[in-house]
Amino acid sequence: MKKKNFYILAVAFAVLFSSNLFAGHHGGEKPMKKAILLVAFGSSEESARISFENIEKRTRTAYPDVPVFWAYTSHIIRNKLAKQGLLLDSPEVALAKLSGEGFTHVAVQSLHTIPGFEFHDLSRVVTSFKNMGAFKKIIQGYPLLATQEDMERVVEAVLKTIPKNRKKDEAVLLMGHGTHHPSNVFYTALMFQLQLRDPNIYVGNVEGYPEIPEIKEWLMEKKIKKAWLMPFMSVAGDHAKNDMAGDDDDSWKSILTNAGIECEVVLKGTAEYDEYVDIWVDHIKTPLAHF
């Protein structure tokens, strides 16, 4: 048995034997108690803390009657924060606590960008808690990009957040994370729909098609002289600071600069802009509507 599976099972037993899960059979119907669990990969960056606070504030404003909780999926980030005295729960632990505290309906909102591995890992956790009967209802909300409507809203968000002083003949290059998951196609789908509006906007990935060699070719074919580099990740963390904007030879900035393309860097994650945050926050509506 994989360590992670064993861990989920252990949490499951803890929930079953410690909580009021069986209360319904003896003490009548439990009153409805709703919760929102926001789930992010996590970050130890200061800028991320500000973004996460903003997401929480906008969530509380949109759903004032529902308490908001957090979980981070990355154990590396959780361990790093624990050393600074900040204790963050994994989704498994957060859900076990919510069940123990008598919450009956939980909206689990993924703060991921695409429905890739992490989104589907979270789905398995949600399904496990559902199968255990830990809540009356537990429903997961979509990440930033899932439906065609999301795609159109993200296109608008990109167009609105490009710096105003960028000229039309200058490229805008968004750096996505990219993945080996089939959902990597969301990035090229987004690029296609962006280019219908503005042919000089590109979406590339750190790991996953298209990467910087392809993008460089395309920019050179178009004789682009200048490119604006912006992260298409919720947090402007390590990838944005080093792989995108770093001074090493293999950073996007260096590769393009060496190809004769002047680079301007914007170091802000998508979670720093309300245009993107509101898409995630709106996605919580769907689970809440089914309670």
Supply the residues annotated as catalytic.
177
Closest alpha carbon to 231 in 276, 283, 286, 169: 276
